[in-house]
Amino acid sequence: MNRPVRIRYLPVALITLLIFFIATACQKQKAPVEEAAPVEHAAPSPAGTSETVLHKTFTLKSSATFPFEIPAHAVTPHLHGIFESFVREIHGASDDSANVDFVIVNADQYADLEGNRPSEALFSVEASHNQSVNVDLPASLDQPVRYYLIFRNAGGKGPGKVVEADFHVDF
């Protein structure tokens, strides 16, 4: 009696299938690569550092602007400093006649001011001739952020002023 051909090749087919499953089971599959969001990229943190933003004595007729930048990944930037203004010369009269306005703005707010559009400021002081400033700035995340210190002759009139300013930012 002849056996059907199917039964004779069945053990060979089963062994081949078994070898195939064992071989594929032992191979490790690579995990799919996920793209990280820009915020998740690791980069050096400026934490624990400090930079001088402005250390200068300057003449102020109408206004003076001083840009500065917070580096990427600054979680808690803190701006601090002091300014004092005088009438006409350094260490001259420093009273209400020496008053200046002081504003801190970000890049968007600065663009609004330059375009004569209404805008708010992150921090402002009106009509002061001696001011200490302590301001926490927003975290910069994964991109550097530009800010501006702006000094204006209070009221836009009166004699020229001399301003002595010293500002630093801690990260």
Provide the number of structural domains found in the chain: 1
| 155 burial via Cβ count (<10 Å: 0-12, 13-18, 19+) | exposed
Q: For residue 55, is pLDDT > 50?
A: yes
With cut-offs at 50, 70 and 90, classify the pLDDT of residue 71: very high
For residue 69 the two structure tokens come to 């930048």
Does 18 reside within a domain?
A: no
Share of the chain above pLDDT 90, in %: 56
Q: For residue 41, is pLDDT > 50?
A: no
Does 137 reside within a domain?
A: yes
Closest to 152 in 3D by CA, of 128, 169, 121, 168: 128
| 138 burial via Cβ count (<10 Å: 0-12, 13-18, 19+) | middle
Q: Tens digits of per-residue pLDDT, 87-122?
A: 988 888 788 999 999 999 999 999 999 999 998 999
Does 54 reside within a domain?
A: yes
* Residue 85 · residue 98 · CB < 8 Å: yes
What's the pLDDT score for residue 9? Answer: 64
Does 41 reside within a domain?
A: no
What's the pLDDT score for residue 61? Answer: 92
Mean pLDDT for 144-164 is 89
Does 153 reside within a domain?
A: yes
Q: Give the mean pLDDT of the chain.
A: 83
Which CATH number is 102's domain given?
Answer: 2.60.120.680
Does 11 reside within a domain?
A: no
* Residue 33 · residue 116 · CB < 8 Å: no
Structure-model confidence comparison of residues 27 and 65, the more confident one: 65
Structure-model confidence comparison of residues 141 and 138, the more confident one: 138
Q: Name the residue range of residue 67's domain.
A: 46-170
Does 2 reside within a domain?
A: no
What's the pLDDT score for residue 2? Answer: 57
Does 150 reside within a domain?
A: yes
